[in-house]
Amino acid sequence: MSEFDFDLFVIGAGSGGVRAGRMAAAMGVRVAIAEDLHLGGTCVNVGCVPKKLFVYASHFAEEFGHATGFGWQHQQPQFDWQTLRDNKTREIERLNEVYQNMLVNAGCELIHGRATLVGPHTVSVAGRQYSAERILIAVGGWPHIPDIPGREHVISSNEAFYLEQFPQRVVVVGSGYIGVEFAGIFKGLGAETRLIYRGEQILRGFDQEVREFTATEIAKKGVQLYPNTQIEAVTKQSDGSLLLQLANGEQLTTDLVMYATGRKPKVQGLGLEGLGIAQAPNGAIVVNDQFQTSVSSVYAIGDVIDRMQLTPVALAEGTALVKSLYGDNPQQVDYELIPTAVFCQPNIGTVGLTEEQARERYAKIEVYRSNFRAMKHTLSGSEERTLMKLLVDAESRRVVGVHMVGAEAGEIIQGIAIALKAGATKEVFDATIGIHPTSAEEFVTMREPVSN
């Protein structure tokens, strides 16, 4: 008989925690999983899933406009925020139930409440203690809002999914993918939208040409960009509107301010300090290649370790950990060539190195580029353009980076990522016959480099 209540105690039922718990339980491991909010974590409840539903909704007004060029006549459609919000909420509630059934059917014991570490093998939830041979922390992250005067009047993306009323005027603060995506959502749904950010350009860390191209395209769609701008204070006025005092002395009036200035590991109250578990300056839990913390019985995966804040990465980490611990099959996660998408308008899809990174890593690279107006827009009347870009190591001929800004970029780049993972060369791309007429075929028809 084991000396512990459980073999594995998982703190957090988000993407990584659920994957690890389900897999381990299916192998006969005695698993408990504690969650103090909703099953499914950020992605299901206030992240990728509801955000993508909102992105879909935000495209319709533009699509109705495009339809006239194809012969469709229609009256001006009306948007009802409550319908979108409530339909989204029902879908999330359905997914919560799906996650619960998956965990229970796999054999996990669900415990509702915030778990705290009280020892290397002991967890406390709602005043009750549980012992476990191993503990896995998978609590994710939480939006960070700077401490400015009037902070109580602003929201994060968490609250944006549940607004009582849809605002006429919105200010989104932050130039990362959450800020850029929500700026497109609010604008597409009909709000006058401003995007404020303190840097020169949006989407730090992405390919510079992609950043510049995307900024131009989203500005075309009516999002007002405010680079090199910071908010010093927010004041609520008598009519309910918000007055923003900017660092440059200017003022703006709006109905809603949403901060998207990053997410921090959700480690408060976990009891890490009491066990001496090492943390990075931003609170992230420090782990080795086996996701083991400085306390050997405690592990961590997902956003709380702040390697790559992506749901599929947390899933991969959970899978690798369980296979290593219980499958007699040690694995490590390969963080190279992870594709990602930004669901702004138009979408961004990217995999591999940026041009800047490629030039640092390789002696010589070739850059292939295509910038065009998609076939659809020859009749839609839209001035939206598409950018596609291939980066090739001139010596090995391997394609080391692929970037796209355009409709369905994420869907297209997922397939391209497989080719890069397999080590495809530019000649393999050239030998691949395209599907015509599609935007995607441009990736196999770019013959001459535009620079090297």
Tokens 């007699």 identify what position?
Answer: 328
Which pair of structure tokens corresponds to residue 414? 């997922």
Average pLDDT over residues 291-318: 97
Residue ranges covered by each domain of the chain: 6-143+264-326, 151-261, 340-444
Find the helix or strand (DSSP H, E) in which 123 lies.
Answer: strand 122-125
Answer whether 403's CB lies under 8 Å from 207's CB.
yes
Which pair of structure tokens corresponds to residue 50? 């509801």
Asked if the domains at 6-143+264-326 and 151-261 fall in one CATH topology, the answer is: yes
Average pLDDT, the chain: 97
Of 56-65, 114-123, 328-337, the one with minimum mean pLDDT is 328-337
Cis peptide before 50 (omega within 30 of 0): no
**Per this entry, what is the length of the chain?**
452
Q: Cα–Cα distance between 438 and 388 in angstroms, integer?
A: 13
Give 383-397 as a DSSP string: ---EEEEEEEETTT-
Answer whether 40's CB lies under 8 Å from 13's CB.
yes
Residue 193 has pLDDT above 90, yes or no: yes
Answer whether 306's CB lies under 8 Å from 282's CB.
yes
Q: According to the model, what pLDDT value does residue 145 have?
A: 96
Which pair of structure tokens corresponds to residue 340? 């990602």
User: What CATH number should be reported for the domain whose range is 6-143+264-326?
Assistant: 3.50.50.60
* 26 — pLDDT class (breaks 50, 70, 90): very high
Q: Cα–Cα distance between 315 and 377 in angstroms, integer?
A: 38
Find the helix or strand (DSSP H, E) in which 430 lies.
Answer: helix 426-431
Report H helices in 283-370: 311-326, 355-361
Average pLDDT over residues 113-137: 97
User: What CATH number should be reported for the domain whose range is 340-444?
Assistant: 3.30.390.30
Q: What ranges make up the beta strands (E) of 153-311?
A: 155-156, 169-173, 192-196, 224-226, 231-236, 242-246, 251-254, 256-259, 263-265, 298-300
pTM for this entry: 0.96
Q: According to the model, what pLDDT value does residue 225 have?
A: 98
Interhelix angle 81-106/15-26, nearest 10 degrees: 30
121 φ, ψ (degrees, to nearest 5) = -130, 20
195 φ, ψ (degrees, to nearest 5) = -115, 115
Average pLDDT over residues 363-370: 98
Written out in words, the top-level CATH class of the domain with range 151-261 is alpha beta
Tokens 């839609």 identify what position?
Answer: 380
Name the 3-class secondary structure at 237. coil
Answer whether 160's CB lies under 8 Å from 182's CB.
yes
Answer whether 222's CB lies under 8 Å from 62's CB.
no
Question: Torsion angle, CA of 358/359/360/363, rounded to 10 degrees?
Answer: 110
Side chain identity, residue 60: F
Q: Cα–Cα distance between 394 and 378 in angstroms, integer?
A: 36
Q: Cα–Cα distance between 408 and 339 in angstroms, integer?
A: 14
Give per-residue pLDDT as tens, 400-437. 999 999 999 999 999 999 999 999 999 999 999 999 99
Residue 1 has pLDDT above 80, yes or no: no
* 76 — pLDDT class (breaks 50, 70, 90): confident
Catalytic residues: 436
Q: According to the model, what pLDDT value does residue 328 have?
A: 81
Residue 132 has pLDDT above 90, yes or no: yes
Which pair of structure tokens corresponds to residue 251? 């003022």
Residue 81 has pLDDT above 90, yes or no: yes
Q: Cα–Cα distance between 16 and 403 in angstroms, integer?
A: 27
Q: Cα–Cα distance between 351 and 400 in angstroms, integer?
A: 8
Contacts of 78 (CB under 8 A, 6+ apart): none
Average pLDDT over residues 270-296: 97
Residue 234 has pLDDT above 90, yes or no: yes
Which pair of structure tokens corresponds to residue 396? 């090995």
Give per-residue pLDDT as tens, 138-187. 999 999 999 999 999 999 999 999 999 999 999 999 999 999 999 999 99
Answer whether 364's CB lies under 8 Å from 395's CB.
yes
Q: According to the model, what pLDDT value does residue 267 have?
A: 96
